[in-house]
Amino acid sequence: MHQRTKKQINISNLLDQGVSLLTDKGYHGSGLKEILAAVQIPKGSFYNYFDSKEVFAVEVIRHYIEPFIRQLDAHLQNPDLDALTAINQYFAELIAELEVNGFKGGCLLGNLMGELGDSNEAISQALRAAVKQYRDLLQTGLSRAQQEGTVRTDKSAQEMADLLVNTWQGVLLRMKIEQSSIPLKQCCGNLLDEYFRV
């Protein structure tokens, strides 16, 4: 059995804390001291793990998107579900989690896009890569749904996946100001249950 080293554990803890702080306070509002204190790592040792705060943010973005990819993929790999039902169930889970968390934070990707999307090329590249990875998996699911006959074929799976990602990002922002899951449910209902359907 593979045992993680202390350094690997510390990196994982730093990335977890980075997701939390960058989501809540943004890149400019999150200090290295605060991140290190939260995981009980000495102040001077950050650069033993990451070359810079920018590199750290890039790794946080990659770390953040991985569970969403795994969660969506698990639904799509479920042999008991057709692809459209799998996508619907995935988004229903996300909405339930956001309701439990009191609509706090929203999406790290969307938050950083607004804060740094056009001012930091390294972080912008990491955000584009994360969004593309997510979009591509949704596209795979929607393509399968087209083959299964549940989703329209006059629009490409990529076009619909882009529309879903773009709309979802927007309703996450609306959710934060409304403190309500209604925009999220409207997005899924309008797209997955109506516009995308045959």
Number of domains in the chain: 1
Residue 81: C-alpha distances to residues 30, 53, 194 (Å): 41, 42, 19
Residue 137 counted as domain residue: yes
Residue 82 counted as domain residue: yes
What mean pLDDT comes out for the span 12-33? 93
pLDDT at 44: 81
Express each pLDDT in 70-81 by its tens digit. 999 999 999 999
Contact 60, 15 (CB under 8 A): yes
Express each pLDDT in 132-190 by its tens digit. 999 999 999 999 999 999 999 999 999 999 999 999 999 999 999 999 999 999 999 99
pLDDT at 144: 98
Question: Would the pLDDT of 68 be above 80?
Answer: yes
For the residues of 80-148, what is the DSSP string, one character each?
TS-HHHHHHHHHHHHHHHHHHTTT-S--HHHHHHHHHTTT-HHHHHHHHHHHHHHHHHHHHHHHHHHHH
pLDDT at 98: 95
Higher pLDDT, 104 or 194: 194
For the residues of 8-33, what is the DSSP string, one character each?
HHHHHHHHHHHHHHHHHHHHHH--HH
Residue 25 counted as domain residue: no
pTM: 0.93
Residue 5 counted as domain residue: no
Q: What radius of gyration do the chain's Cα atoms show?
A: 18
Give the closest residue to 138 by CA, choosing from 65, 58, 63. Answer: 65
| Token pair 């990196």: residue | 11
Question: Would the pLDDT of 1 be above 80?
Answer: no
Mean pLDDT, the chain, integer: 94
Express each pLDDT in 90-143 by its tens digit. 999 999 999 999 998 889 999 999 999 888 999 999 999 999 999 999 999 999
Residue 15 counted as domain residue: no
Residue 30 counted as domain residue: no
Work out the pLDDT band at 2, boundaries 50, 70, 90: low
Q: Which domain holds residue 74?
A: 53-195
pLDDT at 28: 94
Residue 6 counted as domain residue: no
Residue 60 counted as domain residue: yes
CATH code for the domain in which residue 96 is found: 1.10.357.10
For residues 144 and 141, give the distance between their C-alpha atoms in angstroms, rounded to a whole number. 5
pLDDT at 38: 86
